[in-house]
Structures are given as C-alpha cells and as structure tokens.
Amino acid sequence: MSELVHLQRVSHRYAGGQDVLADVNLQLGLGEMAFLTGASGAGKSTLLKLIARLEIPTRGQVLVHGQNVARLASRHVPAYRQHLGLIFQQFNLLYDRNVFDNVALPLVIEGLRHGDIARRVRAALDSVGLLEKASLLPMMLSGGEQQRVGIARAVIRKPLLLLADEPTGNLDPDTAMGVMNLFRRYNDAGVSVLIATHALDLIDALPGYRVLHLNGGRLSERVSGDADHGQ
C-alpha cells in the first residue's frame, strides 16, 4: 500500500503550554481507513489540524504525498486543502442556506459552472441519502441528517483524504453507526479516511481497522475488534 500521510517525530506545543504531541510517528496508506482515539485533550484534534495545515508542528515533519505541508507557502494552502475533506462534531452549516447550497459552497468558491455544480451536488447528496431534502434548511433536519450534509460537503471535491474529528459525538448510537458506515463506503471507493473519536464501541463493531491511541502525547496501536484494550 502506497503511503499517503507520514508524521515523522512530530511534537506540538501551544503557546504557554506543554507538548500536546510528543515525538509522534504515524503512517496512513493511500486508500486506508484508521481510527484515532484518546482522552479529551490527548491531541487528537491537534493531529488532524497538523495534517490539514491548520496548525504547524513545533518539531518534526508532516508529509502528505511526500510533501512537507508546513513548508507550503500560504498562497498554496487552499489548493492543498482541495484534496482534503474536513468533517467536525459541530456541523458548521450555514443555517440561512438550504442543503443544496451548503453542499455546493466549495464548488462555488472554486468557480465551477452551474451545471457541473448541480450534477456533483446531486451525486454527493444521493451518496448520503439526502437527495430529496436538497431544498430544506438545515434546521429542518435531524442531527444525523445535518452531519450527513456536512459529509456530502466534505466529499464534493472528491478528496484523497477525509479527516473527521468526533463526527458522531452528538448522535444517537444507531445514527452514529450509519455515519461510520458512510465512511466505510467512501473508503471502499478508494478514499483514505482518518477518524478521531471517543466511540470505542463503534470502532469495535467495525473490526479489522487500525486504531491509533494517543496517551501522554505519544501514540500506540491496535486493531479494531480486539477486546483487550483500555481507554
């Protein structure tokens, strides 16, 4: 499996604080799906932000497709992020715009033609089972449906890599499993996926995936479905 993401001895310290990450090494293969676990404050969100180039490591290198993302010039960061899909626990939707317009936004910013935008938005909404709700405002949807809108928006540009930060944190167990199964479908289609989550029960209901656990700024590893693990 070709390597997509490689963190080499990465440490990160926020101003005035201790290291959130300490000498972390991580590899994620092209087309691989893995989970990132750890207690609140363990550094899961920070690690995703480093890959997305929302933060820059204090020490070490974050390589994506062999490119050191910290060395990207600011003008090149938006183009880099076009290859990423970012999904958060908070849905970050525009509540004065309907579902279609929320999903279309990245393509509108990119300047695509209206016909291409409409076709790709319909395909993205169909993939998350919300095509018939395209004209509704987000507040008319359930929490799970709003998260699926966020996922559709994240995949609209056909990213190489999906980064999801606690994407099921606000959802009931059945809805959360539905969201995890969506990630599996995208992964089956060749998208690399890295999911930060506290939901160990969901992870172990999806056996056979790498589980990367952060504790004290350091990383350990197991395979999902292995009952011999702790928080």
Averaged pLDDT score across all residues of the chain: 92
Q: Is the pLDDT higher at 167 or at 19?
A: 167
Could you say which of 118, 138, 158 is where a domain stops? 158
* Amino acid 226: pLDDT: 73
* Amino acid 90: pLDDT: 83
Q: For residue 108, is pLDDT > 80?
A: yes
Same domain assignment for residues 1 and 79: yes
Same domain assignment for residues 168 and 79: yes
Do residues 50 and 8 touch, judged by C-beta distance below 8 A? no
Q: For residue 198, is pLDDT > 80?
A: yes
Same domain assignment for residues 5 and 36: yes
**Each residue of 35-80: pLDDT tens digit?**
999 998 899 999 999 999 999 999 999 999 999 999 999 999 999 9
Q: For residue 4, is pLDDT > 70?
A: yes
* Amino acid 231: pLDDT: 45
Same domain assignment for residues 124 and 179: no
Same domain assignment for residues 187 and 143: no
Could you say which of 131, 158, 185 is where a domain stops? 158
Q: For residue 176, is pLDDT > 50?
A: yes
Span 219-224, average pLDDT: 91
Find the angle CA(81)-CA(96)-CA(176) to the nearest 5 degrees. Answer: 60
The total number of residues shown for the chain amounts to 231
* Amino acid 228: pLDDT: 57
Q: How confident is the model at residue 229 (pLDDT cuts 50, 70, 90)?
A: low
* Amino acid 41: pLDDT: 86
Could you say which of 130, 158, 186 is where a domain stops? 158
Same domain assignment for residues 105 and 121: yes
DSSP H or E run through 147: helix 143-155
Same domain assignment for residues 35 and 123: no
Host domain of residue 69: 1-83+163-231
Span 97-106, average pLDDT: 97
**Each residue of 114-172: pLDDT tens digit?**
999 999 999 999 999 999 999 999 999 999 999 999 999 999 999 999 999 999 988 88
Q: Which residues pair with 3 in a beta bridge?
A: 29
Span 13-35, average pLDDT: 91
Same domain assignment for residues 47 and 92: no
Closest CA to 175 of 218, 230, 128: 128
SS3 39: coil
Same domain assignment for residues 41 and 142: no
Same domain assignment for residues 70 and 94: no
- Minimum mean pLDDT among 58-72, 81-95, 98-112: which range? 81-95
* Rg of the chain on CA atoms, in Å: 18
Same domain assignment for residues 57 and 171: yes
**What is the bridge-based pairing of β-strands 210-215 and 33-37?**
parallel
The structure's pTM equals 0.91
Same domain assignment for residues 106 and 149: yes
* Amino acid 17: pLDDT: 80
For residue 17, the domain's CATH number is: 3.40.50.300
Give how many domains the chain has, as a whole number: 2
* Amino acid 58: pLDDT: 95
